[in-house]
């Protein structure tokens, strides 16, 4: 996906441990660091996400959101850095909102604050699974609100035995992607 980013755009990649392999000519990597034996010198993802914002990125990518850095990720994605992304472990796209709420609690954010930030920070959820030793797209969901106003992830593309198929949110995904 990040290969599609134009070569003149700067991607700032933030990770705890270097895992993501990105083939792009303009990548800046920031990597976390554990504290030394004296308990000092730690560099957290939260600190690195804030530093990434100072580097004039076109895209911010957080390798794996597992804790309080979720606050900084949502903040970064709400400051006009379109096309940014992060990875988060969830069982299914529909579980992503609850997962962000749980991570937000680690950052002392209320569920309402998380949902408000999330609604404007994220538009699309891509769920991967592993099949035959390779990762593949299992489902693409679009974040929106249901008729009662609750934040939900609706299926735009889903996998099945016959391959990927369009879901009820397909028109929303098409509108969001535009001419891309």
Q: What is the pLDDT of residues 20-55, one digit of tens each?
A: 888 899 999 999 999 999 999 999 888 998 899 899
More confident residue, 150 or 4: 150
Gap between the Cα atoms of 148 and 68, Å rounded: 29
Q: Which two structure tokens, joined as six digits, stand for 110?
A: 């209320």
Q: Which two structure tokens, joined as six digits, stand for 103?
A: 């991570």
Mean pLDDT of 152-173: 89
pLDDT at 73: 85
Long-range contacts of 103-107 (CB under 8 A, 24+ apart): 103/65, 103/66, 103/67, 103/68, 103/70, 104/70, 104/71, 106/67, 106/68, 106/70, 107/67, 107/68, 107/69, 107/70, 107/71
DSSP string, 83-135: T-EE----SSGGGHHHHHHHHHHHTT--HHHHHHHHHHH--EEEEEEEETTEE
pLDDT at 170: 94
pTM of the complete model: 0.84
Gap between the Cα atoms of 126 and 157, Å rounded: 9
**pLDDT digits 0-9 by tens, 57-106:** 999 999 888 888 888 888 888 887 777 888 899 999 999 999 999 999 99
More confident residue, 110 or 161: 110
CA distances from 53 to 57, 75, 88 (A): 7, 10, 20
In CATH, 8-96 is 1.10.1370.30: no
Judged against a pLDDT cut of 60, whether residue 180 lies above it is answered with: no
Q: Which two structure tokens, joined as six digits, stand for 91?
A: 């069982």
Mean pLDDT of 149-173: 90
For the chain, domain boundaries: 8-96
Strands (E), 16-79: 27-31, 59-62
pLDDT at 76: 82
Interaxial angle between packed helices 111-121 and 69-77, expressed in degrees from 0 to 180 and rounded to the nearest 10:
40
pLDDT at 105: 95
Gap between the Cα atoms of 142 and 96, Å rounded: 11
Contact 140, 127 (CB under 8 A): yes
Q: Which two structure tokens, joined as six digits, stand for 148?
A: 């009662």
pLDDT at 134: 85
């Amino acid at each position: 996906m990040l290969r599609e980013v134009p070569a003149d755009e700067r991607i700032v990649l933030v990770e705890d441990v270097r895992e993501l392999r990105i083939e792009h000519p303009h990548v800046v990597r920031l990597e976390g660091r554990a504290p030394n034996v004296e308990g000092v010198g730690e560099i957290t993802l939260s600190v690195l996400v804030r530093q990434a914002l100072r580097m004039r990125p076109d895209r911010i990518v957080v390798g794996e959101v597992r804790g309080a850095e979720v606050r900084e990720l949502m903040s970064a994605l709400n400051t006009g850095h379109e096309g940014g992304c992060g990875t988060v472990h969830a069982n299914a796209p529909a579980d992503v909102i609850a997962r962000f709420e749980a991570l937000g609690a680690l950052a002392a954010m209320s569920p309402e604050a998380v949902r408000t930030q999330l609604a404007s920070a994220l538009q699309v959820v891509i769920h991967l699974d592993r099949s035959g030793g390779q990762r593949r797209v299992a489902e693409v969901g679009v974040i929106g609100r249901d008729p009662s106003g609750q934040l939900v992830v609706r299926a735009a593309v889903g996998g099945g035995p016959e391959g990927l198929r369009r879901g009820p949110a397909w028109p929303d995904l098409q509108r969001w992607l535009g001419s891309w």
